[in-house]
Amino acid sequence: MINKNPTKTNAWKKLQIHYNNYMKHIHMNEIFSKDLYRFEKYSIQFNEIFVDYSKNIIVDETLDLLLELAKELDLKSAIESMFIGEEINQTENRAVLHTACRNLSNNPIKIDNKDIMLEIKSVLKKMEFFSEKIRNSEIKGFSGKTIDTLINIGIGGSDLGPCMVTEALKFYSNNKIKLFFVSNIDGSHIYETLKKIDPETSLFIISSKTFTTFETLTNANTAKNWFLESAKNKDYISKHFIAVTTNIDEAVNFGINKENIFIFWDFICGRFSLWSAIGLSISCYIGFDNFKKLLRGAHEMDLHFRNEALNKNIPIILALIGIWYNNFFKTETEAIFPYDQYLHKFPDYFQQCNMESNGKYIDRDKLELNYQTGPIIWGGTGTNGQHAFFQLIHQGTKIIPADFLVPIEPLNNIYDHHKILLSNFFAQTEALMTGICKEDALKEMQKKGFDNETIQKILPYNIFKGNRPSNSILYKKLTPENLGSLIAMYEHKIFVQGYIWNIYSFDQWGVELGKKLALKILPKIQNYDNNLNLHPSTNALINKYKSMKQDS
């Protein structure tokens, strides 16, 4: 992998000139009027997924220069380095091989001359066996009742990934398994969950890579204490608690039998871990066959990303366009709008994946950056977003590039719901791009019969500048395969951007400082330690907390 400040490349310098001299003030309406074949040129079909990126403030020269940037930094070699298991996560001396978990071609992948695919296949087999026993009502609790409720206790990638996928693929569940996710350290989260379940029929999946994550273990111990209030016997813990972790010893110390521990590995980054045993709740909920289809869809996108030419490579094109906005237009945020209720957790998931991966200000040479890296990721479902925050996107002072996703065929075809949904999907992307000029707004108001006084009063508020960029992503139907491909597409986009920004995308040191301070502060809140040797503002805040607590 090349370690190079991208702003020092020839391509970056050319892009800056191109932006300043031509693209800074151009409007997409003008671009479209000059290029009749723009839609055909700026779109890519991949299996049942179609990506239209024509509604972006780019021209052929822009794309050529962005692709030149990728070539100058030897992006293709970096991609290959990830897939073959080189230690690209160099701050932690680890390979990055979540792709290996979905390597259904079964080609050997070696770390330290050991083929890791043998162990991966073994874990997948164990997941298949367990999830099918759960789904076939073959696993019993301590009282002999059938286990029919799963509670995944984790946080971050151990929660967001499985939660997003099980929500997205709820249509494919057999409705026999009730599934809950607990992540927040706020006791209200686990309290409200425990109210809904029966200890005799519940199984807790403790999902923690290290089995030392404070929030997860706190919730796990609360669940264990609650369970023992009914079961009365610690030996029964083994029937109602399983673990997904790299730390077998700590899981055993918790009371979990070794045979009920599903392992994953250091080369799996937490926020990209749903493909591993962290996806056990997914497999139990939708069935292992569907879980395997999810893996297959991701694997097919892996092959596309690894082998396709740069100019026809969906993750690379999307990543480069994102860099164009982030670093030249200084847009700072990106939005994801799935017009699919099943994908309502999709923006949340990629908020973590992207911002935890590329929220870095130190480059791979340990130098502080002089350019922007990760964008702020946010979003929500259409059409809800249209009635919540689209006003800012249409007429606000910020340009917010957005991805719009929609299925061609709904999973639930009720009356005209889907046609109405699609009409909104197509309308929003056009309205964002074209806007409405003063003359057209005036004609529209006159057509509606507004008097001149009213027109003069409100005409400025009916003008939309447009030129707001978007990508339109259509998929045939929300199947496990298509979802797998969509997730992998965004994962690889994140990798490409992190590589070009010359940062390490697969560590998360920034998460650690707050954790360490929290552990230092906890005894002071518990009154074990009244020596408040913290920052004066924090000392004052803790003392205020204590005084308000005494008064309550």
Residue 318, C-beta contacts closer than 8 angstroms, at least 6 positions apart: 51, 53, 403, 471, 489, 493
DSSP 178-205: EEEEE--SSHHHHHHHHTT--TTTEEEE
DSSP 75-107: HHHHHHHHHTT---BTTTTB---GGGGG-TT--
For residue 362, what are its two tokens?
A: 């130190």
> For residue 512, what pLDDT is reported?
83
Catalytic residue among 121, 176, 258, 515: 515
Q: pLDDT tens digits, residue range 480-522?
A: 999 999 999 999 999 999 999 999 999 999 888 888 888 888 8
Tokens of 146: 């059938």
What is the token pair recorded at 175? 């409705």
The reply to whether 356 belongs to the active site is yes
Structure tokens at 307: 């082998």
387: annotated active-site residue: yes
Distance from the Cα of residue 504 to its chain's centroid: 17
221-231 average pLDDT score = 97
Instruction: Give the mean model confidence (pLDDT) for residues 470-485.
Output: 98
Dihedral of the alpha carbons of 102, 486, 245, 163, in degrees to the nearest 10: -140
Least confident of 147-161, 178-192, 448-462, 506-520: 506-520
pTM: 0.97
CATH topology of domain 98-292: Rossmann fold (3.40.50)
Q: What angle do CA 194, 196, 202 make, to 5 degrees?
A: 70
- Helix extents (H) in 435-469: 438-447, 452-458
The first and second tokens of residue 272, run together, are: 């990209």
Mean pLDDT of the chain: 95
Architecture per CATH, domain 6-66+324-434+469-507, reads as 3-Layer(aba) Sandwich (3.40)
- pLDDT tens-place string over residues 395-454: 999 999 999 999 999 999 999 999 999 999 999 999 999 999 999 999 999 999 999 999
Rounded-to-integer distance, Cα 127 and Cα 121, Å: 10
* Partners of residue 181 on adjacent β-strands: 152
DSSP one-letter code for 326: I
Identical fold for domains 6-66+324-434+469-507 and 98-292, yes or no, is: yes
CA distance 100 to 115: 11
Question: Which position has the token pair 């075809």?
Answer: 413
Is 332 annotated in the active site?
A: no
Ranges of each domain in the chain: 6-66+324-434+469-507, 98-292, 513-551
- The H or E element that residue 240 is part of is helix 237-240
Helix or strand run (H / E) with residue 463? none
User: Quick one: pLDDT at residue 520?
Assistant: 85
**Does 541 or 162 have the greater pLDDT score?**
162
Strands (E), 312-380: 333-338, 376-379
- pLDDT of residue 461 exceeding 90, the answer is yes
The two structure tokens encoding residue 141 = 């609790």
The C-alpha angle 73, 76, 81, rounded to 5 degrees, equals 100
Does pLDDT of 207 surpass 70? yes
Residues facing residue 403 across a β-bridge: 336, 471
Catalytic residue among 215, 356, 481, 491: 356
Digit-coded pLDDT (tens) for 252-298? 999 999 999 999 999 999 999 999 999 999 999 999 999 999 999 99
Please, are residues 352 and 160 in contact by the beta-carbon 8 Å criterion?
yes
Whether residue 537 is predicted with pLDDT greater than 70 in this model: the reply is yes
Enter the DSSP assignment of 174. -
